[in-house]
Amino acid sequence: MIGIVDYEAGNISSVSNALTTIGSEFVVSADPSVLLRCAGVILPGVGAAPGAMAALKRRGLIEFLSHSTQPVLGICLGMQLLFQSSEEGSTTCLGVFPGSVKKFDDSKQKVPHMGWNEVHCTGNTMLMNGTREKEYYYFAHSYFAEPDAVTVATSSQNTLFAAVVARDNYFGVQFHPEKSGDAGLAILHNFDILCKSFRQ
């Protein structure tokens, strides 16, 4: 079973619907003891980093998410929270991945970046198994992580940015797989398989 972290994130219902569509069992919870019993955890996210981190702290989820031994998938803001910090409100984040999340330069592009954009795979991860090297996914974000050692796929909106990151049991996607049609559902299905195999 996959645990969806409940911390007032705006896309919990759409992630839940997507997991239902692919036949994945899941539970929505803010209780670390419940989430700890799950095969894997999804950290969704729509909103701002300062409020999101404050909500995680109120629920006692910081330590759990920072040191999880099960697979964790961050989506959009959830991916950004896995980094050390965010320029949004000068927020200290979970520190799983190195680096800081930055804001797009609105003199170079439209901010927020919204809509379908091409993602180019540059590395290997089970999360992207069976997906095409270049595929379109749905984005909605004003902040981004620069490509680095944990980046396995990139996208560009006049600025090259990390679209998928992965290291050990932590994964993140800047786009919304739950809103990206069959291509996005395939990624969530891969995460479900990854969680089951991780526990074996």
Rounded to an integer, the average pLDDT of 86-112 is 94
* Dist. CA 61–CA 109, nearest whole Å: 35
* 21 token code pair: 């569509």
> Would the pTM count as exceeding 0.85?
yes
pLDDT over 90 (residue 9): no
Annotated catalytic sites, by residue?
A: 76, 176, 178
pLDDT over 70 (residue 200): no
Total tally of structural domains belonging to the chain: 1
- Residue 135: CATH number of its domain: 3.40.50.880
* Dist. CA 167–CA 18, nearest whole Å: 24
Strand order in the sheet with 151-156: 26-29, 2-5, 40-43, 72-75, 170-173, 160-167, 151-156, 113-121, 134-141
Residue with the larger pLDDT of the pair 110 and 53: 53
Q: Identify the bridge partners of residue 172 per DSSP, sorted by sequence position.
A: 74, 165
Structural domain span for residue 31: 2-199
* 119 token code pair: 């993602």
